[in-house]
Structure 1
C-alpha cells in the first residue's frame, strides 16, 4: 500500500479515537468503505480527504475513466442512485422563464454558463411552453454532458436516445457553433 494511503488510514483512526460508542458501526462502515476504495488504488489521492468522500472517490474513478464507461467489476452505489428533479406544477410561464434564466446563468462551470446564458438570452423569450419544458429537462442534466452534447462531442459523452430528436438541443448545437466567431461573455440581465 502506498505511503500516502497508509498515512490517510492512520489519520482516520486518530480522528475517530474519541467518538461515542453508538457511532462504532458507522465508523467501521466508513473504514471498510475507505479501505475498499484505497484497494482499488486507481483513484486520485487528492480525492481521499475524508472517509465520507469515499463514495465520491469511487465516483471519480468512474468519471476519469476512458469515455465515461465504468468497469463491469465495479459496484458503486453512487452510479446506481440518481435523484429525480423537483416536479414543478402550477408554475406560470413568466416564473418558469425567470427560473430558467437563473439556472442557465448559474451552472458552476464557466463553459456551460457562457453557452447556456447566451442561448437563453437569444431564445428564451420566443420559446413555446413545450420548448420551455424541454429546455427545463435539459438543464436537469449534468453540466459537462450538456456542454459535450451542445458541442457535438459525443466521443466523451454519448447522446442518450431521449435527446436525439430534441429541437431545443438542435438549436443549442447550432448556437454553440458560434458561426459569427464572437468573443463570448455573460449577457446583461436586460437582454432576457
Structure 2
C-alpha cells in the first residue's frame, strides 16, 4: 500500500504518487520515499513559509482550519480559528501553523484528551494553543456545534 502525508496517510491513486516519486528520484522536492514493513511510504515535508505576511498567514490558517477533510476536525478547528485567530500573536500563529501540520485524527484526539488512542508528544505538552483548543472542545456551554459563518 502507498502512503502519503507528514504522517504517512494511505493513498490509493498511483497517478498522484507517480509525480512525487519522479521529484524524489531527481532530488527536486521535500519528499522522501522508503520501504517500511513491506510498504512503500512517501513523506511530504510541510512547506517552509518564512517571511509570510501575518495577514496572509491568518487567512491561510483560517482556510486550513476549515478544510481539513475530516468533519470532526473541520468543526473543532474552524470554531477555534473563528474565536482565537484574530487575537493571536505572531508566535502563537507559528505554533498553530505547526499544530496544523499534524495529522487530523491526532489533533482531534489530543484536543479531546483521548491520549489512549493517540499519545500526546512531548513537544505539545506545554502548548498554550493546544490547551485553548482542549478547553474549546469541552463545549462547557453544551452548544449545538456548527461551522462558523465565513467573514
If the TM-score is normalised by the length of the shorter chain, which range does it land in?
0.7 to 0.9
Between the aligned partners of 1:108 and 1:84, the Cα distance in structure 2 is 19
Aligned residues: 123
Structure-2 residue corresponding to 1:129: 90
Between the aligned partners of 2:45 and 2:147, the Cα distance in structure 1 is 29
Long gaps (5+) in structure 2: 2-9, 15-35
Whose helix proportion is higher, 1 or 2?
Answer: 1
Runs of 4+ aligned residues of structure 1 deviating over 6 Å after TM superposition are none
Q: Which has the higher contact order (CA 8 A, sep 6+)?
A: 2
Structure 1 length-normalised TM: 0.59
Answer yes or no: is 1:74 the counterpart of 2:7.
no
Pick the aligned partner of 1:172 from 133, 137, 140: 133
CA drift at 1:75 = 4.5
Between the aligned partners of 1:134 and 1:146, the Cα distance in structure 2 is 13
What are the equivalent positions in structure 2 for 1:8-157 lying under 5 Å apart? 52=14, 74-78=37-41, 81-157=42-118
CA deviation profile, 1:31-59 (whole Å, cap 9, x unmatched) = xx8xxxxxxxxxxxxx9x88x5xxxxxxx
Whose strand proportion is higher, 1 or 2?
Answer: 2
Helix, strand or coil for the counterpart of 2:76?
Answer: helix
Structure-2 residue corresponding to 1:182: 143
Structure 2 length-normalised TM: 0.75
User: How large is the Cα RMSD of the aligned pairs?
Assistant: 2.3
Q: Which structure has the greater CA radius of gyration?
A: 1
